[in-house]
Structure 1
Amino acid sequence: MSLESYGVLKGRPKDWRYGTGRSPHFQILLHDGQMEHRIAVNVRSKVPPSELLYFVDENFDHPLLSGLKDLDTGFHSLENKKELSLDYVRGELFDLSAMETLNHNIPGPDNDLNEMIRDYIKEAISTKGTVYAFGKRWGPETFLQDSCFGFRPGSGIHDIHMNQGSLKKWRDDDAPFNDGGLLIHLPEKDRWVALFLAFQSQCFETDETTGHCKEEKSESGSDTKDISESIESCQCVVSAGTIRIIAALVDPASDDPGLEMITLFNASPDDVNIDDWTIVDANNRKSVLKGTIKACSGVKVHLSGKGAQLYKDGGSIGLFDEMGVMMHEVDYRKDDVRTGWMVVF
C-alpha cells in the first residue's frame, strides 16, 4: 500500500524552524509562487534508538533530475511515476552502507541534524535555490492556519524519510518508490544537494511488491523491547479527553468528496498542537491532522475520502495522538444518521 498523496513539492524556501519537543520536526516554509506550504522533516525517531540515519550528497547526480527541472512549482502526485519517485533500495540513489546516525540536539554549534539541515536551507534561501520535498501531502486545510508559520490555508508535506521496511505499526505506509527525501538545487553553481533519512528500526531488504521488510525484526528495532512498551512508556503531554470528537457529518447532502466532516473541541485552557494526530475509522483507515486547536475552541475537519471515512450504516471514529495513544473515541448507529445533519456525541 502506497502513501496517500505521495509526491514531490517544488518551491522556493523562505524560512525555517528547528525541530524541538516530543516529536521534533525541522520545519521549512516554502512558497510555490501562488501559496505557502510547510515541509515537516523528522529529526528524531519515536522508537529507540532515536537518532536518525542520514546520508548527504553535496554533488548529487541522477537521471531523475532532468525530469524534476521540468516540473512547475507546487505539488505533483507521483503515483505510478517511478521515473521521478525515490526508492532507497531500488533507485540507485546512494550507497546505503554509507548512512550514519546523528542526534538532532547535540550541545554546541554546527554538530547535529537540525543544524545540518538549517545550513542547506539557509544557503538555498540566500542563493534563490529550489527545494524538492518528497513525501506525503496534507491540505490545503481551510479550517486551520498553519501551526508553525501561521499562513492559511494550511498545506504541506511530511514523511520526508524512507517509507518501506517499517515496523508493524507503520507497515500500511510501506511501498516501493514511495520514499521521502530533500533535493535542493543551488543555481549559482548548478549544484544539487540530496538529503536522505531513515529510522534505525527500518530494514533495507524489502519486498518488491509491498515494500515490507523481508526479514522479521523485533518491534522496536531491538531484540528486547516491544514497540508498544516504547510508546506506553512515553510521558504524554496531552491527556486523553482533552481534545474530544463532538459531532460528525456522516451523510452530506451532496456526494462530492471532502464534505464528510468531524468537529473536534479542545476543552482545555491551553492551545493544543495536533500535528501528526490521526482520525481512524471503523475499517482502520486513517487521516493525518495538522495544526493547532485554540483553547476552549473547536475546529471542523473535512475528510478527503482518501483516508478515514464515515459509514452511513454506523461505525466508530477514533482520535489518536502522534504517538498512537487514543485521545477519544465515539460510536454511532445507522439510526443516528440523517442526510445533511450532524451526529452529535
Structure 2
Amino acid sequence: MPLKDYGVWKATPTSFTVERSDKDPVSPHGHLTFKDGVSSKKLSSAINVKSISSDSRLVYWLIQDFKHPLTAKLKSLSPGFHRLTKDQRDIALDILRSNVVNVQDGSVVPHDLPGDKNDIVDFIQPFFDNAINKKATVYIYGEQYSGKDGLHDVHMNQGSDGKFRSSNGVYQDGSVIVEFADGHWEAFFIAFASQTAETDDKGQPKGPSLGELLGKKAQPGGGNDNPDEGDKEPGDGGEGPSRPSDAVVAIAAALVNPDGPDGGENPEIVYVVNNGPSSVSLKGWTIENQMGNSFAIPASSVLKVQGDKEGFNVKGVPLSNKGGSIILKNAEKQVVDKVSYTKTQASQSGALVYFR
C-alpha cells in the first residue's frame, strides 16, 4: 500500500483556517486542528486547496445528507487514529469504488478567485465552521504524520501521473466525514482535477482526467446548475438567489433550520464574506429577512482581508423553513446583497444552505 500509515482519525474539530493566494500562491492548504481525548499532542491536519500540477484546480463533492453503510462502521470506532489496510474495504475509503459519491456530481473549482461561491475556499470554510460550531465528530481519512500528531493526504490518492504516480493505490483515499448530534452526517471529498476518473486495480490512471470529464458542466459561480429550481412552489422563496455580481461583501451561507424547535436555543446563523481586496468595517450594517425584521451587526465586526468570513446569530430575524430571502444592508441602508432559498433547501435540520 503506497501510503505507509493510512487510516482514519476520530476526533472533535476545534479550529479551521485556510490559506488564500496572498498567504501561499503555490501550495496553499487548509489547517484543521482537533482533539481526540487520547493523545496529549497538539493535533492537526493539512488539507490541500490547490494542486501543484499544470492543472491547479480541485474537484470536490459536498454531501450534506451523507447516507452510507460506512457511517455505522465509523460510529463504532473509539476516538483516536485507526490504521487501515486496503483489505478492510468495509471502512477503508476509495472514492471511485466505495460508492460514496457519484463522480459526475463533482464540481471543478480553482483555489482562489474574487467573488463568492466560485472557488474551493468558499465551500470548505463554511463546512468546517459548521462542524466546529456544532461540536460535531469528524472522521478524517489520510496518512498519519511521522510524528503521530496529525494527518495529510486528505484527498483522493489514486489516478495521479508523473512524480505522484508512486503514491497511487486503491482503498487509501482521504476525506472528511462529519457526524452531527442530531443524527445526520455530512461529507467533503476532494480530488485533483488532473487525476483520472477511472483507475486500474493498483490505482494507476486510466482514461480522461476529472477536469476533462467534469469541466464542461456548469460549475459553482457560473450560473444555475439546478435547472429544476426555475419553477418554484408557493412558499419556496421566490425566484431563487440574486445578487449584484460585483458585491464586495456578500452572503456566503446560512443555517436557516437549526437543530431543535423553532425559537429554541440553537440560533439561526448568517455567514458573510469579504470579496474585495480591502478591509471592510460592518459598523452600522444589518441583516434582514423578507418580512423586514432586522439584526444589527456588532459595530466591532471587521472583515479584514479578501476571503474573510464571519457568522452572525441573527436573533430576532426568523428565517422561515418554508423558503425566504436574506438581505444584507450597509450603514447607508443600501442593499449590498440579497439571496433567496427554497423550502427544499431549508428542509434539512442543522445543514448549511450555500448561496451562489
TM-score by length of 2: 0.54
What secondary structure sits across from 1:139 in the alignment?
A: coil
Please tell me whether the aligned partners of residues 197 and 207 of structure 2 are also in contact (alpha carbons under 8 angstroms): no
Q: Which of these residues, 94, 119, 124, is aligned with residue 126 of structure 2?
A: 119
Does residue 77 of structure 1 match 2:71?
A: no
Residues of 1 paired with 2:133 and 2:189: CA distance? 22
Deviations, residues 265-321 of structure 1 (Å, cap 9, x unaligned): xxxxxxxxxxxxxxxxxxxxxxxxxxxxxxxxxxxxxxxxxxxxxxxxxxxxxxxxx
Partner of 1:101: 108
1:169 aligned residue: 163
* Residue matched to 1:40: 46
Q: Is the 8 A contact 2:63 2:188 kept in 1?
A: yes
Q: Runs of 5+ in structure 2 lacking a partner?
A: 213-356
- 1:89 is paired with a residue whose SS is coil
Distance of aligned partners of 1:167 and 1:92 in 2 relative to their CA distance in 1, 3 Å threshold: same
2:18 aligned residue: 18
What is the Cα deviation at residue 117 of structure 1?
Answer: 1.4
- Counterpart in the other structure of 1:190: 183
Q: 2:65 aligns with which of 59, 62, 68?
A: 59
191 and 47 in structure 1: CA distance in 2 versus 1, 3 angstrom threshold: same
Residues in 2 aligned to 1:114 and 1:51: alpha-carbon distance in whole angstroms:
12
Letter in 2 for 1:30: F
Find the residue that maps to 1:66 and give its secondary structure.
helix
User: How far apart in 1 are the matches of 2:120 and 2:140?
Assistant: 17
1:139 Cα offset (Å): 3.2
For 2:175 and 2:208, the matched residues in 1 are separated by 25
Q: CA deviation at 1:71?
A: 0.7
User: 203, 216, 220: which is aligned to 1:211?
Assistant: 203
Q: Secondary structure at the match of 1:11?
A: strand
Partner Cα separation in structure 1 for residue 203 and residue 61 of structure 2: 21
SS of match in other structure, 1:140: coil
Give 1:252's aligned residue: none
Which structure 1 residue ranges, 5 or more long, are not aligned? Answer: 142-154, 222-345
Structure 1 residue 216 displacement after superposition: 8.7
SS at structure 2 position matched to 1:82: coil
Change (3 A) 1:200 1:112: closer
Choose which of 197, 200, 208 in structure 1 pairs with 2:193: 200
Whether 2:139 is the aligned partner of 1:132: answer yes
Equivalent residues in 2 for 1:232-271, closer than 5 Å: none
Tell me the amino acid that sits aligned with residue 205 of structure 2.
Answer: C
SS at match of 2:4: coil
- Aligned pair 1:30/2:34, yes or no? yes
% identity of equivalent residues: 35
Q: SS in structure 1 opposite 2:113? A: coil
Which residue is equivalent to 1:68? 74
2:81 is aligned with 1:89:
no
Please state how far the C-alpha of 1:215 moved relative to its aligned partner. 4.3
CA distance 1:216–1:17, change in 2 (3 Å): closer
Q: CA deviation at 1:111?
A: 4.4
Taking structure 1 as the reference length, what is the TM-score of the superposition?
0.56
The corresponding residue for 1:230 is: none
Aligned residues: CA RMSD: 2.1
